[in-house]
Structure 1
Amino acid sequence: MNILRRVAHAVLDLEKMRCEKTVNVFRKIGLYRRLLESTGTEPKVAAEIESQMLSIMEEGILEQHMLCSRFVRGELAFIEFVQEWKVWYGEYAAWCDRVSLDAFRYAA
């Protein structure tokens, strides 16, 4: 692994840590719960949605880091990386939508 790849991987690791810290701050202050409660969502439902969304974010951070690491290590060509990223992002967005919609259906 050459020096540029090492630097790129260090930057990826730092970004992963930053994202994890952000999720921890959101969890600590109850950001999503408060936002949902301010829109009239019941506290129990808001807390459940927040918990699910934060766990999805944590898993997404890990998956995103693994995918980017494969590209930086040279295991994926740029085109392959973009295609896998597109698939991953589509699945991730659908997962987030599904969790939110299921929770709101349950609340309704």
Structure 2
Amino acid sequence: MSFRSRLAISVAVGALVAAAAASPAVAGDDWGGHHEKHPKLYKGVVTADTLLLRSAPHRGSHVIRTAHRGQVVKIFCKTVGQNIQGNPLWYLLPDGTWAWGSARYIKNIGPAPRWC
């Protein structure tokens, strides 16, 4: 496994740990209203017919759930993961479960998400 892959996995694990700690506070957020206790959420819309949302930011990770074309999703943060058709960014989605989706198939609505 390359250093870059190990680094991406380490970043993803750190983000998931931080996200799990923040999930009760974030869950009540209304599409990113600014609150002092937790960070802003962002929005995106799924552009793939069916997008597989995964446990880590690479295609080899476990599929947690799916999202479908036109579905609006909340985005917690972004990180570098496996390059998908020229796009190495992945978004951590807190909707229902904490899962990673390739940014190649999620179009931002509004500002770009912050880094994890």
TM-score by length of 1: 0.34
Q: Which has the larger radius of gyration?
A: 1
Higher helix share: 1
Higher relative contact order (CA 8 A, sep 6+): 1
